[in-house]
Amino acid sequence: MQNNNLSKTTSLITTALLTVFLSSPFGYAQQDSKNKLPEIGAAGSSVLSIDKERQIGDAMMRHLRASQPIIHDPILTEYINDLGNRMVRHAQDVNYNFEFFLINNKEINAFAFFGGHIGVHSGLITTATTESELASVLAHEISHVTQRHLARKMEASSRNQPLTMAGMISGVLLALVNPTVGMAALSTTMAASQQAGINYTRGNEKEADRVGIQLLANSGFNPMGAPNFFAKLSEKYRYTSKPPAMLLTHPMPESRIAEARVRAQNFGAPQIAPSLSFELAKTRIQARYQSTPKDNIRLYLAKLDKQQYSYQAVAQYGLAIAYFENKQYSQAQEILEQLRTQERNNLFYIDVLTDTYIQLEQFDAALAMLAEVEKLMPKNQVVALNYANALLSAKKYQQAEQVLQDFLLIDKNNYLANDLLTQVYQAQKNMAMMHATKAEVLALLGAYPRAIDELQTGYNFANEKGNEKPLIKKRIKARIIQLQEQEEKLKRLN
C-alpha cells in the first residue's frame, strides 16, 4: 500500500505534556520494583509507575505522529515490529507491548522512550549491511528500556532545582529524535553539565551492550552484528565534523567497541544466510523514499546488469517500485507478477502490486489476489489495509467499511486504518461517521480539542431532523467523554 500524503495538524498537546513532565521524572518502561539490577538498583520504579510510563509514552507517541515524518507504511511497519518483537520475546521483565516505528530521515539514529516505544530512522536501515547489524541496534535500545536507564538518570536529575527540570522539558523529545538540534535547544536553558543529564552514562551504555548482545544471540542473530555496526559508524565518521545522531547519544570510544567485540565473540559467530525480508525492506526504503524515480530506475537496472545483489529478486523489486513511482505501471506490473510466481504470498510483492493494479484500474485482479491471501493471513495489517484500499478504489464501500471495522477491533490505534475509514464514510456520504472517524485520526495526533469538535459536528449530523441515529449519537457522546477524560488524565499526572 502506497504511503499516502496524510493531512497533519500542528495543534498538539504540548501544554498537557509540559504539565506531565514538570512533575514527573523521566523513565524507560519495563521493570518494576521486583526487578533486580545489582549495579544500579531499582531507582526510578518508586516514583514513576508502569501505568504513568504508559500514559506519558502514549502522549509522546501522539506528539511524534503530528510533528515527525513517520512512515505510515504497513509492510515496513510490520517488518520492523516483527524484527523487534523477535527479541522482546527473549527479554526479561517485559510489562507491556513494545511498539517499533520508522521515521523518514536519512540520519543514522534510533531512540527509545516511555512505554516501550522505539523509533528507527530510515537511514539506519539503509546503512546496515546485514539484518544482524540492524537487530543489534534494536537490541541495544530494548536493553536501555528494560534496564530503566533514563528513568534512573532523570530521577537523579529531579532532585536538583525544579527550574532545571522545567528548562529540560521542551528539548528532551527533540533531542531523542534529532540530537544535534535537540541539544542546541536544551543548551539555551541549561549548563553543559546539566544538559548531559539526558545522556546515558558510560555504565548505562556498557550494560546495554552486555544485555543487548546477549539478547541478540539468544534471538538467533549474529552477536558480532553489534560491534561490527558500531565500529563501522565510528570509523566512517572519525574525522568528520558532523557525526551521525546515534554517535552523539551513544558515543563509541575504541575501548567500548573492543569490549563489545570480545563479549560478542564469546557467543560465537553463527553463519546466517542473508535475510530476504531485510533486503526487501532496505530496498523499499531506497526505492520509495530516497532519490528520484528516474535515478532509481538507472540504479536498479545497473544492479541487475552487473549482478550486484544478494538476491536477484531484491533488485527486481527495487526496479518495480522505481517504475511505479515513475508512473510506468505496466512495467511494474510485469516484474511484480513475475516475482509472485517465485513466492506467491510474499507481502512485499503483494503490497506494491495492489497499488499497481489500482493505478491501472484492474480492481478485479487486486481484489482476487487479496481475497486469496486474506484466507491465509486473516487480520494481517498489510493484507487488511491493502484490501480495504482496493475495495475503496473499486467503490465497494460497504465491504471496505467491514474490513476496516474488523481490523480496528484488534488495532484501534492504527493511523492508516482510521484514515482509510474516514475516506470510506466520506465516499458513502455518511457525514456523522465521517466526522467521528476523523476525530480518531486527530486524537492519534494528540489534537484532542479538534477531535472533540469533529465529534460534536458528527453528533449534529446524526441529530438532523428526519435523519436521527440514536445509536450513533450515544456512541459519539460516549467518545466525547472518553477523550475529555484522556485529556484530564494527562493533567492529573502532576
Establish whether 144 is an annotated binding residue.
Answer: yes
Active site residues: 141, 209
Establish whether 250 is an annotated binding residue.
Answer: no
Provide the grid cell at 375. 484466507
DSSP states of 133-182 as a string? HHHHHHHHHHHHHHTTHHHHHHHHHTTS-HHHHHHHHHHHHHHHH-HHHH
438 vs 466: CA distance, rounded Å: 24
302 vs 307: CA distance, rounded Å: 8
Establish whether 140 is an annotated binding residue.
Answer: yes
Instruction: Determine what percent of the chain falls in helix, strand and coil, rounding each to the nearest 5.
Output: 65, 5, 30
CB burial string 428-438: b at 16+ within 10 A, e below: eebbbbbbbbb
Say what the pLDDT of residue 198 is. 42
Provide the grid cell at 43. 531507582
Does the global pTM surpass 0.75? Answer: yes
Say what the pLDDT of residue 461 is. 95
Domains in the chain and their CATH numbers? 14-265 (no CATH), 275-360 (1.25.40)
80 vs 446: CA distance, rounded Å: 24
Provide the grid cell at 195. 544538559
Nearest CA among 128, 132, 153 for reference residue 244: 128
179 vs 162: CA distance, rounded Å: 23
249 vs 252: CA distance, rounded Å: 10
Provide the grid cell at 382. 498489510
Which CA distances in Å does 426 have to 222, 266, 395, 476? 49, 59, 12, 17
Say what the pLDDT of residue 166 is. 35
pLDDT in tens, the chain (494 residues): 876 544 443 333 333 333 333 333 333 333 333 333 333 334 444 456 777 778 878 888 998 899 899 999 999 999 999 999 999 999 987 777 899 999 999 989 998 888 899 999 999 999 999 999 999 999 999 988 887 666 666 666 555 544 343 334 344 555 566 655 444 444 444 443 344 444 556 666 778 788 899 999 999 999 999 999 988 888 877 767 677 767 766 776 778 888 889 999 999 878 899 999 999 999 999 999 999 999 999 999 999 999 999 899 999 999 999 999 999 999 999 999 999 999 999 999 999 999 999 999 999 999 999 999 999 999 899 999 999 999 999 999 999 999 999 999 999 999 999 999 999 999 999 999 999 999 999 999 999 999 999 999 999 999 887 677 889 999 999 999 999 998 888 777 65
